[in-house]
Amino acid sequence: MKFLLLSLAVLLIFSCGTPRSNTTVTKVAAHKEHVVVRRDMPAPPLVLVDAGHGGNDTGAKTSYIQEKKVCLKTAVYVRRFLTQMGYKVIMTRARDEFIPLRDRSKLANRTRADLFVSIHYNSAPNKDAAGIEIYIPKDGTKERKGRSRQLAELVLKKMSAYTHAHSRGIKEANFHVIRDSTMPAILVEGGFISNERESHKLLDDQYIELLSLAVAEGVDHYFQSI
């Protein structure tokens, strides 16, 4: 497949301590990557990007961060990168509004999206819980489950490499949005809001941008592998 490489100077990331956290400065390695612009796709794949929560559903939260806001910011970055790569992208929400779970999967099915990528961030009673993980449908056809796992593996590999976050692996679950959508689907948990160190990283736009690039490149690698 012919493609054009556009050099994307990405990203010298510094996750800095704040007066709230008094954490030390964490340097995430600087590196250059390439956005692959596919110009010979006769029908560019359609990816549905789902920003979790929204409106009166804040998701996980602390006194200084709300999951719904980080989900939306991440989803917008993922859309931007995938669009640059040549993919078609639709979002379940592009602003702070509540969208019922059933409407999210219905939108994916109605538009016949090729992939469903749901963005979330984690929380746990154990404040030491940390890391990234991806959920795939527990039930469904063998082909759909296999494709979902393949996608999850590629996305998780990129996320781990780019962010150096601890990988908690791939898990199966019956979350509504990945259960009721009919295409390969993943639900990304990009870190723990309940973990002080990780939650402060999630306040850094450059860190979110890097994590989002990893998701987009994982999606791109999936389409090039099938």
Residues 223, 11, 6: CA angle, nearest 5 degrees: 50
Token pair for residue 61?
């939260």
Give the E-state strand segments of 84-127 in sequence order: 88-91, 115-122
Catalytic residue among 67, 133, 189, 217: 189
The answer to whether residue 97 is catalytic is: no
Interacting residues of 208 by C-beta distance below 8 A, sequence separation 6+: 70, 73, 74, 77, 202
Instruction: State the burial class of residue 128 (Cβ atoms within 10 Å of its Cβ: 0-12, 13-18, 19+).
Output: exposed
Q: Which residues are catalytic?
A: 189
